[in-house]
């Protein structure tokens, strides 16, 4: 399989990775979650080149992760907003941040601190079980594969 | 900033993305979490070319995400294991899978079903607040930036 073929995998993770599995895309998503909407603001905050940023935003728009919206008619200006599909990527970005803070921190305070608005406290979001509420880590779950997934893995060379 | 420079960002998410923010790397991590250890097994299950797989595994080893371990002395054979640092990437992989299942599913059953071993039930891991236990989404948190992060964002062109 070439990289493009991940988009045709039976695996939804592979298909998701094919869309957002790119370091710059993840940094651009960070910026959108932090509230940036205009091209120039995203560019300044990320340090991405205009070409790179334009290319990544086009892909995210094509995949329905961001939508462009006119915010000025004269001169015509558009900005970028996360769609519901895009907002739902928050756990991916938070999981990356959490791992980075834990394993790649240089002793400095975390670059981004999160506060849970409803409870008012600084929070460290964690994965928990939808059924019992306990915290989940790699050793806590068993994975069962669907027929389609088993077929694909057997067939891949 | 070029792609390489993400590794020097004040942002731990950017540094994490520079290591694991790659579609094939994420599919290879999936396979390691599913229990594959040998090069050939990972290659078959993912469909990655030997060159691509070797390159990605070398990078993951250099970053301390996987470790190679001799499992046979004669002939000499080594396999790949996730380190603690690697196992801690589970939330990233689960978050991608969850998003893919929700937004990219094609009506088929999820390719991978998770069961929480301790409670025995099929589970949909979710992000919750470390302080109050409530479920968290993009709209539930406020983000505050560190001085270093604010400086970098102001300085980037």
Residues B29, B97: Cα–Cα separation, whole Å = 12
pLDDT at residue B121, as a whole number: 98
Which CATH number does the domain housing residue A36 bear? 1.10.10.10
pLDDT at residue B71, as a whole number: 87
Write the pLDDT tens digit of every residue in B43-97.
999 999 999 999 999 999 999 999 999 988 888 888 999 999 999 999 999 999 9
Residues B66, B85: Cα–Cα separation, whole Å = 8
What average pLDDT is seen over chain A? 93
> What 3-state class would DSSP assign to A63?
coil
pLDDT at residue A41, as a whole number: 94
- Residue of A19, A41, A42, A95 best to disrupt the B interface, most CBs of B under 10 A: A95
pLDDT at residue B3, as a whole number: 46
- Nearest by CB to A92, from B87, B92, B105: name it: B92
Write the pLDDT tens digit of every residue in A29-84.
999 999 999 999 999 999 999 999 999 999 999 999 999 999 888 888 889 999 99
Q: Which residues contact B4 (CB under 8 A, 6 or more apart)?
A: B18
pLDDT at residue A71, as a whole number: 87
Residues B19, B72: Cα–Cα separation, whole Å = 29
Average pLDDT of span A104-127: 95
pLDDT at residue A156, as a whole number: 52
Angle at A130 between CA A127 and CA A133, to 5 degrees: 70
pLDDT at residue B106, as a whole number: 83
- Residue A112 structural domain: 3-155
Percent of chain A with pLDDT over 90: 83
The residues in A 55-114 lying below 8 A from B, measured between CB atoms, are 82, 85, 87-105, 108-114
- B90 and A25: CB-CB below 8 Å? no
**Shortest Cα distance from A44 to chain B (angstroms)?**
5
Structural domains counted in chain B: 1
pLDDT at residue B156, as a whole number: 52
pLDDT at residue B21, as a whole number: 95
pLDDT at residue B129, as a whole number: 98
| Chain A residues whose beta carbon lies within 8 Å of the beta carbon of residue B30 | 11, 13-14
Cα A138 to Cα A131, A142, B11, B88, distances in angstroms: 17, 9, 25, 7
pTM for the whole thing? 0.94
């Amino acid at each position: 399989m070439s990289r493009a073929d991940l988009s045709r995998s039976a695996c939804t993770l592979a298909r998701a990775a094919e869309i957002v599995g790119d370091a710059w895309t993840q940094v651009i998503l960070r910026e959108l979650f932090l509230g940036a909407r205009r091209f120039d603001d995203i560019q300044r905050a990320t340090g991405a080149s205009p070409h790179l940023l334009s290319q990544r935003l086009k892909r995210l728009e094509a995949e329905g992760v961001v939508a462009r919206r006119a915010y000025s008619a004269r001169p015509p200006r558009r900005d970028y907003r996360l769609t519901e599909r895009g907002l739902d990527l928050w756990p991916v970005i938070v999981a990356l941040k959490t791992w980075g803070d834990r394993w790649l921190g240089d002793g400095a305070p975390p670059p981004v601190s999160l506060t849970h608005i409803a409870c008012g406290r600084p929070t460290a979001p964690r994965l928990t079980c939808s059924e019992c509420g306990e915290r989940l880590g790699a050793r806590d779950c068993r994975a069962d594969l669907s027929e389609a997934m088993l077929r694909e893995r057997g067939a891949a060379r």
